[in-house]
Structure 1
Amino acid sequence: MTGVFNPMHFIAALFQATTLDEAFAAYERQMQALGVESVMYTFVPQIYLDAHLSIVPLFKTSGSYSPGFLKHYQEAGFEQHDFTVKKILQGESQLIDWWGESRKCHLSKHEQNIVVTAREDYGIRNGMTIPLQSGIGIGGISCISADKDAAYQRLLRERAEALFCCAQLFHAHVMTRPQLNAFFMTALLEKLSVKERRLLPFLITGLPMKTVISNLPKSTYS
């Protein structure tokens, strides 16, 4: 039934999943039941942020999550100007309504261009991002809605809490199960340069970057 969110049923579905694909499928079904058309899950480990490593965020998406826009987003390097990413890095914890932020007129030209491209070039009528924080990284779940503006605003008023809770449960479940978050960890490690791979074991110590760098063997940078 549309609009129904039973946390116990959803948690049971997550625990029955043995792979990230199965867990994401359970999450996608629940979000669609709440009235969201499609979803995209993004995660970046905290160690990459602390070390300022040059990586591209990884995505797990619904098949219907506008593949054309996602391709455009990646090829254009939109993550460099994505206001939702900036707000999450600044510690935002509340749901971010894309068009609501756009209407506030505080976005830069580059930030506004992402919104305009999504809506005008790819027909994404409405969207939101749910910030996700954890001890081992940050992320977000972006949701696309096919509802017109009035219906979308009603969706936010009536189901924002359920949407947020559902996203938090999914994220917490994935982050605490190595067999699920390995998808992100492995793929991100593969993107590291040789120098970054040499640096990583020293970063795991948890020491401040200044201390790590001052104690690195010279071979690390050769």
Structure 2
Amino acid sequence: MGRPTDRTHQTLGILFGCALLGGCATVEDAPREAAAYALMPAAPAVGMDYRIAPDDVLRVQIYHEPGLSLEDAEVTAAGMIRMPLIGDVPVAGLSAGEASDVIAGRLGERYLVSPQVTVFVKKAVGRRITVDGEVREPGLYPIEGRTGLLQAVALAKGPSRLASLKQIVIVRQVQGQRQAAKFDLDAIRKGEAADPEVLPGDTIIVGLSRAKAILGGTLLALPALGAAFIALDGDR
């Protein structure tokens, strides 16, 4: 096999450099930027702190009771799973361990002595975010494990050529109240600002003018660069 050419070394160097920088190219340099986003690592698997959500699929194992165990228990829109003997059990918002305790408690009330229950999240459908605004592919995206803002934008194939990287808005429901904060993606890329964690249910909007249009004029002054989220006036 022949020795690598100078062009090969140059190409590999560009790809490796982009992978390290997590999006080193400018928005005007679309081909290299797209390559950098494609090289970003995948998110880790569902963690122990994951909260069960509607449409998730669970495996419920009851030790020594295969007739009571479930292989594919889908969480309903109301946040329930239907179990033999005990009927509907609310599991949405619980961790897998907490759901195991709830099921064991109900079975132990009338049917089994010290039941051993284990719940696994087979499919975390409920762990999703919305990415909108000036991105290449707006849409609804599933996330697994910890996901930062950089990776969230990468799921939508990165900002468009006209996107303002200093105007990224995250909208989040906090105790039933819609709140928002503005971040500078360019500063995050350069390491000048922390990469905030994106949570399931968040909406990420790239471009402040687009955010104002989507939120129906409720978006006024926002904290920036990782400051605390503030409530939107339209929801007060």
Higher strand share: 2
What TM-score results when the alignment is normalised by the length of structure 1?
0.26
What TM-score results when the alignment is normalised by the length of structure 2?
0.25
Higher helix share: 1
State the structure with more CA Rg. Answer: 2
